[in-house]
Every structure is written in structure tokens, then in C-alpha cells.
Structure 1
């Protein structure tokens, strides 16, 4: 795999607790019932005035959780400088977008157990991306091994679970709630 560029972004003080490595975070939270951390980045785009849309990606038909929808994200690796860097790396790998600013934590953590019994906690972040001036489309590039398509969904479309003729079935109820929470976060 080609080496990826380093992520240069800033973050709101509200996410300072995540500006540390996975190992440091777990050491600082010995009460945690999980040993693995995942991230999700919700990109809110306002190309259409007064109708913010969130980037959702559909898992590949032959991957885990086939054909289900989620925000870009994945595992925090031991090599990631911080949990925030993991979120930026996953957004770049899964959607080809570069984080400019991590605005805050959205919704609630999603706790799940992998098939091998590993307990995971996924944190969701609201992010702004480089090149988003609010007037042009963003160039989303998916990794077809993991995701097969994307949509920009408005709040009403997420609530209706449909964008045009595309049905939205999320990877979990927590993911769906966090996507909806991101619309409220963007208004605050």
C-alpha cells in the first residue's frame, strides 16, 4: 500500500481527550470495558443552502455488514499518532477526503463485539474537510473493496431512510442516531 500523507488538521478543545494515542487513552481509562477503539467521521456539507447533507457510504456487498450504510470510519491503529489522526486517516482511506477541522464528538459511543470476541468502542466525530467552500461538490473516492457507493443525505432523507431511490439501512441503530445527532450538532 502506498504511504499516505500526514494529516494536518486542527481540532476543537472539546475533543482534546482524543488527542492522544489509543494506548494512552486506554491507560487513562482503566475502567473501560473495551480494548479496541474505532472512529467514524461525519462530514456535513452545505452546498445547498439551508439543507445540510451528511456523507454516508454503503459497505461492499462481499464485505462485513454487506450493503449497510454508515459514515466513513474504522479501527484506530497502534501506529496512529492520536485517535483524531485515526479518524482523519480512515476518512482519507474510505472517502478520499482530508480533514481540516475536527469539530466535536457526535452522539454516543457505539459498543460492539467482533466475531473473535474483541470488544470495541466507536467514537463519532463531526469534521470539516479541506476544499469544502460550501459551493462545490466534494470529490469522494471510495475504496471498492470496502464500500460500493455513497450519498449525501439530508436530515429528512435520513429520517425517511431513503435518498432518491436508495434505501438507507444502517449498520446499527446507534450509527443512525449519531448521523441524526450530527445535524443537530451542525446547527449548534
Structure 2
């Protein structure tokens, strides 16, 4: 997977990254419940009068936080070759898009979840990576082309949208969590700075 050299720390197996980066920060006794969640900020770049847009997907009505919007992402699996491969797998599972390049690291945070579905909480480290190139997306030359062949699993997501910074700021799409909304807005800021 293509990526800048300064992101090489994530081009390692999930378990290696977990042992070196996350577990030393977690209190003894909680290390067995550690997970890493990743997410991709996928942008359709501005062309002509069209503003930059980010891909958001709406959670299914049968899922937790029903009908709220989020970026593609999920948990890293031990079977994934690297953290980047986890990101690519999750994006493909949720959207049908193929990640070919990770452009930048946007944000990371550690927090404790309170899972009512599984009956136990755990330590999660969230890693949000900005992704510029997906199969089809990288080939978009027409700013008015709407169909990017996003394919959703109806058990997980019911719709997708290409949202502008203003739409995210104006809360047109109810995002799953304020922390994710801040990460999306930070991604837009990073994009403007380039």
C-alpha cells in the first residue's frame, strides 16, 4: 500500500503495532481487551466551482446509532497483514471501494468503550487516516459525476453521501459522535492546507 515514509509505523501487523504502541499505555489487567479501530476520510477533491467533499455512510436502522452518519472504518483484525491492510479491508467491506494510497494521518485517540451489545467494555485506540485514492474515485475527472460505484452492505449501512465541509459544520448529516465530526472537520482543514 502506498503511503508517506513518516507513516511507516502503521505498515506493520496489527499485533506488532499493538505491542509496541498501545499496550504500554494501558493499565495492567486491561490489556487483554485492547483493540484498534481505524477509519478513512475519503475525499472527492474540488474541481471548478464544486467544493471538496467527503464520503459519509449512514448506519442501518437495525445497527447501533441507527441512521447516523460516519466515515468508513472498523476494527483491525489479527489476520490483516498491516494496519493499512485493515483500513483497506474495512473500506472495501463497507463501500466496495479499493484503497490504493494512504495520504496522511489525521488524528488518533484512546478511549474506553461501554459495550452493551457484547456485555463488556474495552480499551480502543482509534486511528483515522486520510485516504485520497480509491479505485474509481482517483479516476474522477468530471466534478459533476455523482456515481462513484459505492456499494453498501444493507445490514450495516443504508445510504451514502458526498458531504461538504459546510454540510458537516451545519450538521446536515447527524454524525455518530462529536469526536468523529471533529476528525472530519480536521481532515477538511488539512486538505485546505495542502
Query: Does the pair score TM above 0.5?
Result: yes
Calculate the TM-score normalised by the size of structure 1: 0.86
Unaligned runs of 5+ in 1: 1-8, 163-167
- Deviation for aligned residue 1:117: 1.2
Choose 1 or 2 for highest CA Rg. Answer: 2
- SS of the residue corresponding to residue 134 of structure 1 reads coil
**Aligned-pair CA distance for 1:107:** 2.8
Distance 1:76 1:114, change over 3 A: farther
Quick check: 1:133 aligned with 2:139? yes
Q: Give 3-state SS (helix, strand or coil) of 1:109's partner.
A: strand
Q: Among residues 160, 168, 174, which one is paired with 1:158 in the alignment?
A: 168
> After superposition, where does 1:70-149 map in structure 2 within 5 Å?
70-109=70-109, 111-115=111-115, 116-127=120-131, 128-131=133-136, 132-135=138-141, 136=145, 137-149=147-159
Q: Hey, what's the Cα distance between the residues in 2 that align with 1:40 and 1:124?
A: 5
In the aligned structure 1, how far is the partner of 2:13 from the partner of 2:19? 10
- Pick from 10, 25, 47 the counterpart of residue 32 of structure 1: 25
Q: Which residue of 2 aligns with 1:178?
A: 183
1:184 is displaced (CA, Å) by: 1.6
Equivalent pairs counted in the alignment come to 175
Instruction: Give 1:59-78 correspondences, 5 Å limit.
Output: 59-78=59-78
Q: TM-score, normalised by structure 2?
A: 0.84
- Residue 112 of structure 1, CA deviation: 4.0
Q: Whole-Å Cα distance in 2 between the matches of residues 107 and 148 of structure 1?
A: 26
Q: Does 1:19 align with 2:50?
A: no
Following TM superposition, by how much is the alpha carbon of 1:183 offset from its aligned partner in structure 2, in angstroms?
0.9
Mapped partners of 1:107, 1:27: distance in 2: 20
SS of the residue aligned with 2:67? coil
Counterpart Cα distance in 1 of 2:110 and 2:68: 16
**CA RMSD across the alignment:** 1.7
Cα shift readout 1:21-42 (whole Å, capped 9, x = no counterpart)? 1110111123233610011011
